[in-house]
Structure 1
Amino acid sequence: MIPYGRQNISTADVDAVVDVLRSDFLTQGPMVPRFETCVADRVGAAHAVAVNSATSALHIACLALGVKPGDLLWTSPITFVASANAGAYCGADIDFVDIDPTTLNLCPLALERKLVQAKAAGRLPKVIIPVHMGGLSCEMDVIAGLARTHGIRVIEDASHAIGGSFRDTPIGSCQYSDVTVFSFHPVKIVTTAEGGLATTNDRALARAMELFRSHGVTREPAEMEGLSDGPWYYQQIALGYNYRMTEVQAALGISQMARLEPFIARRHALAKRYDALLASLPVRLQTQATHHYSGLHLYIVQLDDASRRSAVFAALRAAGIGVNVHYIPVHTQPWYRAHGHADSVFANAEDYYARAISLPMYPDLTEEEQDYVVAQLAEALAA
């Protein structure tokens, strides 16, 4: 089976993990801070907070920004459910902004229209989470401008996008947001097996996220109430969680980050080749403007004939190609339908979902395998 995504593990990665296994620290040692510095330096952010998943990173980002019951959080309906769930964990009400059908990202024009309506109704969102679908940045300058105008905080869900850029600025720099979140799941661009990380340029936000990832516990005397009882002493000053990343994960992440640029370059070479091979087929591709440089986590095609999607998907799977669909619109999920979205309609998102198939995209995909994927897709479309 040719998977839609797959990790690339080198001898150096294995050695890095083994070195940690033989060290004194499997958790809460020196590797996690080194990984945080590695990522922060690469993307140009002042601070980074590593955790056990991107979902955890989204959650602590919402907590650090003060999201609470009664607040409103908006995100894209075309994303994994974690983007919305992070706000729901905090008790916020969740709503969505439809996508641009060409970029597949949260549409700035739809956002502007919805903000006008929300302001008139007297209920603006506290936080917006734009999602960089497939690794392609949203139009963050426009989104950031709208957010500033209305006093809204921004979390970039860049789970797909490490190594990408927007207007020559690395995704994760937080030039256009309060916090940016990355994922290091095995199918992502670099992996820590499971893991996530939040970047920010705000020291107070970084410190809040550090507390929330580790039980809300501090050993810093300056953060405590009263005096410390001694060097063993700690206090819980917030209700936090156990979201820590392990030393093993961090060591793997540091080793993987050394190959980030080659990984991204290979993905772009494969995407360019896909673009050429698919040019004569009845499919639509995600649009990437010249001011974007995608992380290219996903390579998505949309079938011109939506009625053929199930048959084409089944044919590709039967041919040994592990295609997938990213994503089912979040507002159509039973939990969200039960929480106020039963009648929601986001036309572009729903039309996209009806047509979408993710083709294999990972650095070790060979040109022969890629040719096979396209040939099988062409055959399925012609059937």
Structure 2
Amino acid sequence: MIPYGRQDISAEDIAAVTEVLQSDWLTQGQAGPRFERAMAEYCGAKNAVAVSNATAALHIACLALDLGPGDSLWTVPNTFVASANCALYCGANVDFVDIDPRTYNMSVTALSDKLAQASIEGRLPKVVVPVHFAGQSCEMTEIRALAGHYGFRIIEDASHAVGGEYLGRKIGAGQLSDIVVFSFHPVKIITTGEGGMALASDARLAERLAYLRTHGIVRPVQTNPVDARRSNEDRYGPWIYEQIELGLNYRMTDIQAALGASQLGRLDAFVARRRKLAARYDALLAGLPVLCPWQHPETNSAWHLYVIRLRRNEIKLSRRQVFEALRAAGIGVNVHYIPVHTQPYYQRLGFSVGMFPEAESYYQDAITLPLFSKMTDAEQDIVVAALTKILS
């Protein structure tokens, strides 16, 4: 079976992990801070906070922005449920903004219209979470302008997009948002096994993210060492820690961080290979009754996913029949994503089918084809040959 995604682990990655395993620190040593500094430098960001997974990053990002009961977060239906669940963890409400029919990202037009109506009704969101679907950035300049007008905060869910670019800058730089979130799940661009990261330009916001991931604890000697050295009081002793807020245990281990830092050294190569494979798919699929992914000229995708849409009016098979035929042929296709608002839990919250038609229309046609950095041209030819045979 050719999977839709697969990690790429090298001998150097294994050596980096082994070095940590043979050290005195398996967690909370120096590997985590090194990974954070390296990622911040790569992205051109000021601060990075490594966490146990991207869902954890989304959660503490919401907490750091003081999202809570009575507040509302808006995101898109075309995403994994974590992009919406993070608001519910904070006791806040969730609503959705429909997607752009070309990029499958948050529609700026739909967002603008919804904000205008919400302003009249007094129900503006506190936080908006644009999701960089498949690795392509949302139109962040326009979203940032709307944030300036309506006063909401922005969390970029860039779980798919590490290594991607927007307006010539790396995604993660954070110049157009408050916090950017990455995922390092094995099927993503680089992996730490499980893991995530939150990047923020504001130092105080980053500091809050850091202690929220560690039980809400700070150590006075670390945060204010000069005063601590001057004081002989026990309350400033080197063993002292203080819980200043109700935080969580969302820390990344040194084992994971060592793997992530090693993978980061090959990130550009991974993305370059994915872009080459995506361009090759575009060429090989020309002439088939499918719609290939459209790319906004302001973006340069990291290509986490390659999603086609079936032109169902031109073929006799249903999406399910095509999907199952590809699986039977040894092609590990997938579907990204079932619209969040159609999930049973969200329907119990009051959402229903028909509320976000673009996301629902997209979902009816979508199939994710295999794409990963170790994929060979021969494997890609097998995928295309199988799809061609099925559709013909």
- Taking structure 2 as the reference length, the TM-score comes to 0.95
Q: Secondary structure at the match of 1:340?
A: coil
Distance of 1:229 and 1:128 partners within structure 2: 40
Distance of 1:217 and 1:117 partners within structure 2: 41
2:322 corresponds to: 312
Distance of 1:126 and 1:58 partners within structure 2: 15
Distance of 1:262 and 1:232 partners within structure 2: 44
Distance of 2:237 and 2:124 partners within structure 1: 47
Q: Secondary structure at the match of 1:198?
A: strand
Q: Which of 331, 341, 344 in structure 2 is aligned with 1:334?
A: 344
Q: Which of 239, 259, 284 in structure 2 is aligned with 1:277?
A: 284
Q: Secondary structure at the match of 1:254?
A: helix
Asked if 1:167 corresponds to 2:167, the answer is yes
1:287 corresponds to: 294
Distance of 1:228 and 1:45 partners within structure 2: 35
Shift, 1:289, TM fit: 2.3
Asked if 1:115 corresponds to 2:115, the answer is yes
Determine what percentage of the aligned residue pairs are the same residue: 57
- Output aligned runs, 1:148-297, within 5 Å: 148-220=148-220, 228=235, 230-297=237-304
1:184–1:192 CA contact under 8 A, matched in 2: yes
Structure 1: unaligned runs, 5 residues or longer: none
In structure 1, give the amino acid aligned to 2:363: Y
1:172–1:180 CA contact under 8 A, matched in 2: yes
1:298 corresponds to: 305
Deviations, residues 317-363 of structure 1 (Å, cap 9, x unaligned): 00111100000000001111111213651000000000000000001
Q: Secondary structure at the match of 2:142?
A: helix
2:61 corresponds to: 61
Shift, 1:286, TM fit: 1.9
Distance of 2:263 and 2:217 partners within structure 1: 30
In structure 2, give the amino acid aligned to 1:261: D
In structure 2, give the amino acid aligned to 1:360: P
Q: Secondary structure at the match of 2:48?
A: strand
1:354 corresponds to: 364
Distance of 1:27 and 1:278 partners within structure 2: 46
Shift, 1:89, TM fit: 0.4
2:214–2:249 CA contact under 8 A, matched in 1: yes
In structure 2, give the amino acid aligned to 1:182: F
1:104–1:286 CA contact under 8 A, matched in 2: no
Distance of 1:227 and 1:239 partners within structure 2: 24
Change (3 A) 1:343 1:262: closer
Asked if 1:377 corresponds to 2:387, the answer is yes
Distance of 1:55 and 1:244 partners within structure 2: 12
In structure 1, give the amino acid aligned to 2:335: V
1:127–1:154 CA contact under 8 A, matched in 2: yes
Q: Secondary structure at the match of 2:235?
A: coil
2:32 corresponds to: 32
Q: CA RMSD in A?
A: 1.4
1:331–1:344 CA contact under 8 A, matched in 2: no
Shift, 1:230, TM fit: 2.1
Deviations, residues 194-244 of structure 1 (Å, cap 9, x unaligned): 0000001001110111111010111126689x9725221112111111000
In structure 2, give the amino acid aligned to 1:324: N
2:183–2:197 CA contact under 8 A, matched in 1: yes
- Output aligned runs, 1:32-111, within 5 Å: 32-111=32-111
Distance of 2:91 and 2:271 partners within structure 1: 37
Q: How many residues align?
A: 381
Q: Secondary structure at the match of 2:156?
A: strand
Distance of 1:255 and 1:167 partners within structure 2: 27
Deviations, residues 20-68 of structure 1 (Å, cap 9, x unaligned): 0000100000000000001000001100000000000000000000000
- Taking structure 1 as the reference length, the TM-score comes to 0.97
Deviations, residues 236-293 of structure 1 (Å, cap 9, x unaligned): 1111110000000000000000001110000011001000000101111221122210
2:230 corresponds to: none
In the TM superposition, structure 1's runs of 4+ consecutive aligned residues that sit over 6 Å from their partners are none
2:220–2:240 CA contact under 8 A, matched in 1: no
1:299–1:361 CA contact under 8 A, matched in 2: yes
Distance of 1:180 and 1:253 partners within structure 2: 17
1:299–1:358 CA contact under 8 A, matched in 2: yes
